[in-house]
Amino acid sequence: MKAIYAGSFDPITLGHVSVIERAFKLFQQVHIVVANNRSKNHLFTLEQRTELVERSIPSLYANRTVIMPFEGIVADYINENRIDAVIRGIRNATDLEYELQLEQYIRNTTAAETVYLSPYTQHMQTNSSLVRMFFQSGKHELASHYMSPDAYQLALLYELGAR
């Protein structure tokens, strides 16, 4: 069975990675779709976010992972790639309320089922907004606690303009 985990991943955090690791316990293949939401002001470009995702996935899962930058409607990707399930990460009740709205859309436009997974306990409070704030305020070292080491080093290069 194939699943999709879509998000802006701006940037990808250890919370995202833990949801991905849990998804691999349930699905043979996971498509990680790095979406470009034009209504958001992203810190990192679509290409940079895609590379950060690539750097964050444990090598154990590399041959079972499809990482794809994507501009468009995720439901189209789901239908075109015959995805069986949509993975959504849930940290709290606020997340659940939003995700239930998205589930209605997925249910009406695809044949995929929605599966809710929470991050591992130590990453429950991790979110991209917090990590972006650390980068934007020059507190880069604080972001290192919320990202994989390889992704953090690359994000630091991007943010400091060295790459």
Task: Give the model's pLDDT for residue 92.
Answer: 78
> Is 44's pLDDT higher than 50?
yes
Q: Is 8 annotated as a binding residue?
A: yes
Q: Is 9 annotated as a binding residue?
A: yes
Q: Is 16 annotated as a binding residue?
A: yes
| Domain boundaries of the chain, sorted by first residue | 2-160
17 vs 40, more confident: 17
> Is 98's pLDDT higher than 60?
yes
- How confident is the model over 87-115, as a mean pLDDT? 89
pLDDT in tens, 72-89: 899 999 999 999 999 999
Token pair listed for 120: 């591992």
CA atoms within 13 A on the CB side of 29: 11
Task: Give the model's pLDDT for residue 163.
Answer: 44
Task: Give the model's pLDDT for residue 22.
Answer: 96
> Is 91's pLDDT higher than 60?
yes
Q: Is 124 annotated as a binding residue?
A: yes
Q: Is 40 annotated as a binding residue?
A: yes
Q: Is 89 annotated as a binding residue?
A: yes
Q: Is 126 annotated as a binding residue?
A: yes
pLDDT in tens, 16-26: 999 999 999 99
Q: Is 118 annotated as a binding residue?
A: no
Tokens 């690359």 belong to residue:
154
> Is 108's pLDDT higher than 70?
yes
Q: Is 30 annotated as a binding residue?
A: no
Q: Is 56 annotated as a binding residue?
A: no
What three-state secondary structure class fits 142?
helix
**Confidence (pTM):** 0.91
Kind and range of the H or E run holding 18: helix 14-24
Residue 65's identity, in one-letter code, is T
Superfamily of domain 2-160: HUPs (3.40.50.620)
Q: Is 42 annotated as a binding residue?
A: no
Q: Is 127 annotated as a binding residue?
A: yes
Task: Give the model's pLDDT for residue 124.
Answer: 76
Token pair listed for 31: 């498509």
